[in-house]
Amino acid sequence: MGAHARIAEKAPANHFNVARWEQGNEKIRGWTAAARRGHVRVLDPYNLTAGLTPAYRDSYDGLHFGYFVNLQKFRMVLGALQLPSS
């Protein structure tokens, strides 16, 4: 499971550099691309949060997201498992 995009502008001051640079969106895209080049199957939830703005209310810090985003990531996992129907 790759990482979702960050809303760096929402990050508390002491985590802003992490949100912007150390674990920022550019790094996330690079990690996902590197995994794919290494022939790893990647579930990429980046676009779930890429378009969100600081006004998005289900994230207190722009790094962690609530129920809806996590449910979508879980659905990605279930879809990738391709469980047989009964």
Q: For 12-46, how does the pLDDT look when each residue is reduced to its tens digit (9 = 90+)?
A: 999 999 899 999 999 999 999 999 999 888 999 99
Is 86 among the domain residues? no
| Whether pLDDT at 85 is above 80 | no
pLDDT of residue 86: 64
For the entire predicted model, the pTM comes to 0.82
Given pLDDT bands bounded at 50, 70 and 90, which one contains residue 82?
confident
Residue 47 three-state SS: helix
pLDDT, average across residues 4-8: 95
CA 84/CA 71 separation, integer angstroms:
21
How many domains does the chain fold into? Answer: 1
Report phi then psi at 14, rounded to 5. Answer: -75, -10
Domain range enclosing 63: 8-81
